[in-house]
């Protein structure tokens, strides 16, 4: 290759490229990342040597990872996953240490051949508004305008009411953040089309608001429970800290859609905003922009550019794929039943066949593979964890702002013993979606695995605050295990028993923890009653292994297991403390 390389109509010398490479390899981001550094150095040097045509997955697998490319052993996925990690690491480097680098090394997704770009000083970012280009519109689902409209209404009113209202402060989220319950829109009883749109609306609005750092939002499942029981506004405020409720109705006929929305203060019952939106399925995108632009002038808060982009991230355009993922999420619980985990895996795979770029499908597959290991179903844990990491990496590559992708990556790394990486992943999930209870659930779980149960208590309490009314969640069980690890047995048994009263999950693995807690409290008769049931139900779950997984102190875990043996728990076959 000549001493000059021409990229994007700009001549860049070899020395400039090698200097750029050297800067990257010396950076904190790459200094201890040997695999990423080797990968990057290899593809850059091959390109400079004029051998870019030979840069393929097969040559990278052999020259960088010293492996023959074999799809059955996963060496092809190692190349793809490492390339995805490298792209993200470079993006982070150029946003931090490399902001002033004169030459940038990059490449497009789907190619392993790098490009060398002479950088120019960036222009100040344009002010964000509700308007987006026509090209963006083709990527969004048609009902997204409802979510955007409702989101704009909320931001407009909250921006106003929290800066000018003299109403006494509501019992809201920490730091006086508004805490909103988005109730399901009312529809005609037999109007299947309107009900389907209303369901999508609720999911879209809650997901959008969960990505905002200055607003808390009640989880959709809890909001649905509140609506079904007609929970009064004052009860939502007093018992759950809800400061505002978004409610309304929706009607659709043929290709027309009409929505009436109200934002209500739960303290005074005052309707702070009432708006009617309407359009047709043919002009929803145009209507969306009109609504957003019309309300943009009413916003009295400044929303960070990155947050705006996260809020408007598109869902899958394939409604069948979305429905399959929803079904898979329901099917996977309770995961102590292997057949449920396998069935959910099949549903996630079917969703990805319909939409191969659906991050939610890859995150779900990652969760299923992690659950195979976590719940003791896997015959080859290393294979399943490798797949869990691979699929989570794909989810993050497709949608870097999708919190659950990062959370699943954290879970997989945690189960693999990569504690530090796992912690970075789950904390990133919380940053991206600070209003999503699942982000806090997985943060709590990884903290427990890491021996930091006191911090886990705080994370799990936040998950419960955001999703207080849905009994099918595991929050209380995980919180109980955190208290158990802290030897706060009174607190542990209180939340374990509350979970039972609420109708929450009560698999054999949790019966073992409940019995161990009764034993630690000296309540042996209650422990024996639980163990009598456990001995019948244990099935595929190994109580000993579960306790050893969730109680990082081996001394504490073995003491608990021995107490269960002493009280009559049957020993599981092929179990050792190794």
- For the stretch 409-433, pLDDT in tens is 999 999 999 999 999 999 999 988 8
Backbone angles phi, psi at 73, to 5 degrees: -95, -5
CATH code matching the domain that covers 316-431, chosen among 3.40.50.720, 3.30.2310.20, 1.25.40.10, 3.30.1600.10: 1.25.40.10
CA distances from residue 469 to 218, 226, 234, 397 in whole angstroms, order as listed: 9, 7, 16, 33
pLDDT (tens digit per residue) in 114-139? 888 886 544 444 434 333 343 444 44
Token readout for 267 is 């303290």
- In this predicted structure, the answer to whether residue 76 has a pLDDT above a threshold of 80 is no
Q: What class has domain 134-311?
A: alpha beta
Q: Residue 122 has what pLDDT?
A: 41
Question: CB neighbours of 430 closer than 8 A, spacing ≥ 6?
Answer: 403, 439, 440, 443
Higher pLDDT, 157 or 292: 157
Q: Residue 147 has what pLDDT?
A: 57
Query: What does 248-275 look like in DSSP terms, one character per residue?
Result: EEEEEETTEEEEEEEEEETTT--EEEEE
Beta bridge partners of 279: 257
Q: Residue 176 has what pLDDT?
A: 61
Q: Residue 358 has what pLDDT?
A: 92
In the chain, domain spans = 4-118, 134-311, 316-431
Biggest CA pair distance of the chain: 83
Q: Are 288 and 318 a contacting pair, CB within 8 Å?
A: no
Give the SS3 label for residue 550: helix
CA distances from residue 379 to 385, 412, 564, 574 in whole angstroms, order as listed: 12, 16, 27, 14
Neighbouring CB atoms inside 10 A of 572's CB total 14
* Averaged pLDDT for residues 458-481: 92
How far is it, in rounded angstroms, from Cα 360 to Cα 195?
A: 23
Q: Are 219 and 467 a contacting pair, CB within 8 Å?
A: yes
Least confident residue range of 43-52, 267-276, 311-320, 536-545:
311-320
């Amino acid at each position: 290759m000549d001493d000059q390389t021409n990229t994007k109509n700009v001549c860049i010398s070899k020395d400039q490229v090698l200097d750029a490479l050297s800067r990257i390899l010396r950076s904190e981001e790459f200094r201890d990342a040997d695999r990423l550094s080797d990968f990057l150095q290899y593809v850059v040097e091959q390109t400079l040597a004029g051998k870019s045509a030979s840069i393929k997955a097969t040559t990278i697998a052999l020259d960088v990872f010293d492996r023959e490319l074999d799809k059955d052993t996963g060496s092809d996925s190692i190349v793809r996953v490492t390339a995805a990690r490298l792209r993200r690491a470079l993006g982070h480097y150029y946003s931090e240490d490399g902001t002033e680098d004169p030459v940038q090394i990059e490449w497009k997704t789907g190619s392993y051949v790098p490009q060398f770009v002479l950088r120019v000083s960036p222009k100040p970012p344009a002010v964000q508004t509700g308007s987006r280009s026509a090209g963006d519109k083709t990527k969004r689902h048609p009902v997204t305008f409802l979510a955007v409209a409702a989101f704009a209404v909320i931001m407009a009113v909250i921006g106003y009411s929290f800066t000018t209202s003299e109403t006494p402060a509501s019992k809201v989220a920490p730091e006086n953040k508004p805490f909103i319950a988005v109730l399901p829109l009312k529809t005609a009883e037999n109007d299947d089309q309107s009900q389907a749109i209303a369901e999508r609306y609720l999911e879209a609005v809650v997901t959008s608001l969960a990505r905002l750092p200055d607003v808390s939002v009640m989880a959709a499942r809890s909001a649905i429970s509140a609506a079904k029981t007609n929970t009064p506004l004052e009860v939502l405020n007093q018992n759950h800290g809800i400061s505002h409720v978004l409610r309304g109705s929706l009607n659709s006929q043929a290709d027309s859609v009409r929505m009436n929305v109200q934002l209500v203060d739960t303290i005074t019952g005052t309707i702070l905003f009432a708006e009617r939106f309407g359009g047709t399925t043919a002009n929803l995108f145009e209507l969306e922009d009109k609504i957003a632009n019309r309300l943009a002038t009413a916003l009295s808060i400044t929303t960070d550019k990155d947050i705006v982009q996260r809020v408007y991230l598109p869902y899958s355009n394939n409604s069948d794929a979305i429905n399959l993922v929803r079904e898979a999420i329901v099917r996977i619980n309770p995961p102590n039943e292997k057949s449920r985990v396998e069935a959910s895996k099949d549903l996630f795979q079917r969703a990805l066949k319909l939409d191969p770029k659906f991050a939610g499908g890859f995150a779900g597959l990652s969760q299923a593979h992690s659950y195979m290991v976590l719940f003791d179903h896997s015959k080859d844990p290393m294979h399943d964890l490798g797949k869990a990491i691979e699929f989570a990496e794909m989810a993050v590559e497709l949608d870097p702002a999708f919190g659950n992708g990062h959370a699943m990556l954290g879970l997989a790394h945690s189960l693999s013993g990569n504690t530090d990486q796992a912690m970075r992943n789950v904390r990133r999930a919380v940053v991206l979606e600070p209003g999503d209870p699942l982000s806090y659930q997985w943060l709590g779980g990884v903290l427990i695995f890491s021996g930091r149960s006191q911090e886990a208590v705080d994370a799990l309490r936040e998950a419960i605050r955001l999703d207080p009314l849905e009994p099918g969640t595991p929050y209380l069980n995980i919180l109980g295990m955190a208290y158990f690890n802290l030897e706060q047995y009174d607190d542990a048994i209180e939340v374990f028993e509350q979970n039972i009263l609420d109708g929450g999950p009560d698999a054999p693995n949790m019966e073992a923890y409940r019995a161990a807690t009764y034993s630690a409290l000296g309540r042996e008769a209650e422990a024996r009653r639980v163990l009598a049931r456990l001995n019948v139900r244990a099935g595929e779950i190994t109580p000993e292994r579960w306790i050893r997984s969730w109680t990082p102190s081996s001394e504490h875990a073995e003491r608990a297991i021995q107490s269960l043996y002493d009280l009559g728990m049957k020993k599981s076959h092929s179990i050792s403390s190794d």
